[in-house]
A and B are shown apart, each in its own frame.
Chain A
């Protein structure tokens, strides 16, 4: 099994900026949680890491709950359910999670930048988004 998960080195600088500005309390989060947030934002449009890769979080910190989240990306996809053997393992999950995070960090950056430093506005927008997703997904 791999010993770490990678992200695009360009996003490492962005994350440091967010931490310095204490945006969304990211400065208090574990790197794996930041990674998983990006994964969840980008899982619909995964893309290969463009440019230099940077080791972001150690896989030894990944708990069963985190593993379940990452595995669900491929296993929860309808077209993959006939070949479960190929996706029900850590390596396949981690590979896919890295691709999702690449897209997710771009979305997160766009959200943070568009709030222009107004933390309250950012929180409001995120809550609206969450309400919308809750309404859409949980009512099914």
Chain B
């Protein structure tokens, strides 16, 4: 059970120097403070709120209210001097002493003879001391830590469920309130932890889903199909080349047999021998042409580069020559060293050790100005000059070399054509050859030879083409395979993301399920406790059927015929409902916090007053209740119940000048 053991005020409004002790006394932890209207009952409540939240929630008009510093203290304090205002709440929870200590400094100012104050520094600190080790106090001053401790004990969003104002019941079930209750119960029941965890897993779900969508998964399939097609093409061309390789020796043999037979047949021997010579010459010329073509390609690359760059090569060369002519290459003194000498502000010349006076420095500066390039630049330029010159000379040779190449190419092509024509004429002659003897069928042998030769040429061309295609296809295949490997990696990643996504979805769903389960249990608990207490407090026993709390923590009261009657409740019934609900929320929180009530029975009359007072007395057996009564409100029925049972009963009395509380105590204190 958490309870106030002491509340101390210093210079807080009329509570100039007040200590109220709430010692346990008997079986009821009920404490009564009685005061006339205007004495300081609500101020007492506001003092607690100010200490915890730095707001006085029960102040009618914050802007037009007096400053919280006690007026008599202000009047007796010298202008410019500080006044410290503080409220200190000392609580115990059975294991620790927890002190919430707020202090605010005010400075006195005086305008036109009227003294007032302005705010200075403020702080709230929390001191926690274990009951079994009084010397080990932990002091919390960090704002976030302090706020967290306040929220843990008296969450500000539901402050009026701890510090209850019986005269201000309308706000209890006001719109928007239920949302605060829900969120506070979330917090109290640690459901926030689950809610945060669900939020985290939901965020991860979104991240993973996005990451997974970014990876396109269908490219692997396309690539695999392309690879299969390429492999099929490669196999096809390789097979074709193999069959060409198989066929070529046979063709060659056929060709050689026919060719030999033709050459050995004496009537045509001269023709066949000539054709053989021509074929050898054509082959040699073709080889020369191929070599020339390779040379031509080399020439194109070399001169394409040189001629493109010619203007810059020439300009650079001219620049170097000009600098040389001007005597700037190499420089007489190193430019960098000279610059270093001037920058280092040396007093003496490193060469002659003479004094570097202003005149010498001016001379050096002029020398530096006159120097064109540094030694490093000079070396660089001299190093490339020869190569530039060589390139320029090569450019001059372009036309000559080009013409030589082209004319050589033309000559070779013409020669080949001429020889091919001559060989073709012989072949044509042999193809039509016939003699009277008919000892040897020249026509047939020539046809066989030509057929074999044509086929060999056709197959060789085909094979060369295939080989070139195979190089390209194999390169494409390699590149596609590499691409697929990359895609496989991506697919693995995508699968991993999808699996993780599934796990996070399950987690979110479980978190939400457990969260709903806990909230539903708590809601049911609050509902049943509210109804039980409400039923006890109200004298009407045959009117009310039940109390329900919906998922948004909106409370409704139904009659015995199940019709809602929340809007028809009397002020007394409304107060009973507020008490019942408040105490149920306290129970649900699991932290048995104290309840401080201003005007606890102000709106309650008749039999209900006794019922309610009696019920609250019972509650005070297990919960500290501090009640602030007006003398009228502390009626005979109440007195009969509380006088002998309350742990303390005190009167709050104002001083004669009405500026401070003169005493809290009197004959009712037990």
Contact = CB atoms under 8 A, between A and B. Distances in A.
Interface of A: 13, 16-17, 20-22, 24-26, 28-29, 33, 36-37, 39-41, 43, 64-65, 67-69, 71-73, 75-78, 81, 84-85, 88-89, 123, 126-127, 129-131, 133-134, 137-138
A72 B386 contact: no
28 contacts: A16-B475, A17-B475, A25-B297, A37-B304, A39-B309, A41-B308, A43-B308, A43-B309, A64-B386, A67-B383, A68-B313, A68-B384, A68-B387, A68-B388, A72-B316, A73-B309, A75-B312, A76-B319, A81-B315, A81-B319, A88-B376, A126-B300, A130-B307, A131-B402, A133-B308, A134-B307, A134-B399, A137-B310
Given A126-B304, A137-B307, A20 B297 contact: no
Contacts of B305: 33, 36-37, 39-40, 69
B396 A69 contact: no
Contact of A72 (B313, B323, B335): B313
Contacts of B294: 25, 28
B301 to A, nearest CB: 6
A77 B314 CA distance: 10
Given A65-B390, A131-B402, 14 more contacts: A29-B301, A33-B301, A36-B305, A64-B384, A73-B309, A75-B315, A76-B311, A77-B315, A81-B319, A84-B319, A89-B380, A123-B300, A130-B300, A130-B402
B387 A67 contact: yes
Contacts of B298: 25
A71 B383 CA distance: 11
B387 A65 contact: yes
A40 B388 contact: no
Given A24-B297, A65-B390, A72 B315 contact: yes
Contact of B300 (A24, A77, A84): A24
A13 B479 contact: yes
Q: Which 5 A-B pairs have the closest CB atoms?
A: A76-B312, A76-B315, A40-B308, A68-B384, A25-B297
Nearest to A29: B301
The residue among A67, A75, A123 with the most chain B CB atoms within 10 A of its own CB is: A75
B613 interface: no
Contact of A134 (B300, B398, B472): B398
Contacts of A17: 472, 475
Count class of interface residues, chain B: 35 or more
A123 B373 contact: no
Contacts of B374: 85
A20 B312 contact: no
A64 B384 CA distance: 6
B312 A73 contact: yes
Contact of A88 (B297, B300, B303, B377): B377
Given A24-B301, A37-B304, A84-B319, A72 B309 contact: yes
B311 A64 contact: no
Interface string B379-423: 011011011101100011011001000000000000000000000
Given A20-B472, A130-B307, A68 B391 contact: yes
B377 A84 contact: yes
Contacts of B316: 68, 71-72, 75-76
A67 B390 CA distance: 13
Contact of B313 (A67, A76, A88): A76
B468 interface: yes
B301 A25 contact: yes
A84 B323 CA distance: 11
A33 B323 CA distance: 30
A60 B9 CA distance: 86
A28 to B, nearest CB: 8
Contacts of A65: 387, 390-391
A76 B377 CA distance: 15
Name, among A29, A39, A68, A131, the residue most crowded by chain B CB atoms within 10 Å (CB to CB): A68
Nearest to A111: B304
A84 B472 CA distance: 47
Interface of B: 294, 296-298, 300-301, 303-317, 319, 323, 335, 372-374, 376-377, 380-381, 383-384, 386-388, 390-391, 395-396, 398-399, 402, 468, 471-472, 475, 479
A137 B335 CA distance: 35
Contacts of B317: 72
A90 B381 CA distance: 11
Contact of A130 (B304, B312, B376, B471): B304
Contacts of A40: 304-306, 308-309
Contact of B314 (A28, A41, A68, A76): A76
Given A65-B390, A68-B391, A88-B381, A21 B472 contact: yes
A90 B318 CA distance: 20
A137 B308 CA distance: 9
A129 B373 CA distance: 37
B310 A138 contact: yes
A63 to B, nearest CB: 8
B402 A127 contact: yes
Contacts of B472: 17, 20-21
A129 B307 CA distance: 10
Contact of B468 (A21, A37, A64): A21
A76 B471 CA distance: 42
Contacts of B335: 85
B275 to A, nearest CB: 29
B509 to A, nearest CB: 43
A133 B310 CA distance: 9
B378 to A, nearest CB: 8
A43 B313 CA distance: 12
Residue picked from B301, B309, B335, most chain A C-beta under 10 Å: B309
Choose among A22, A41, A71 the residue with the greatest number of B CB atoms under 10 Å from its CB.
A71
Given A29-B301, A127-B402, A133-B310, A69 B377 contact: no
Nearest to B473: A20
Contacts of B396: 138
B319 A77 contact: no
A33 B314 CA distance: 20
B373 A69 contact: no
Contacts of B475: 16-17, 20
B396 to A, nearest CB: 7
B292 to A, nearest CB: 12
Contacts of B402: 127, 130-131
Contacts of B313: 68-69, 72, 76
Contact of A133 (B307, B376, B388, B471): B307
Contacts of A16: 475
A76 B316 CA distance: 4
A8 to B, nearest CB: 17
A39 B312 CA distance: 12
A77 B315 CA distance: 7
A24 B300 CA distance: 8
A26 to B, nearest CB: 8
Contacts of A88: 373, 376-377, 380-381
A64 B379 CA distance: 13
Nearest to B313: A72
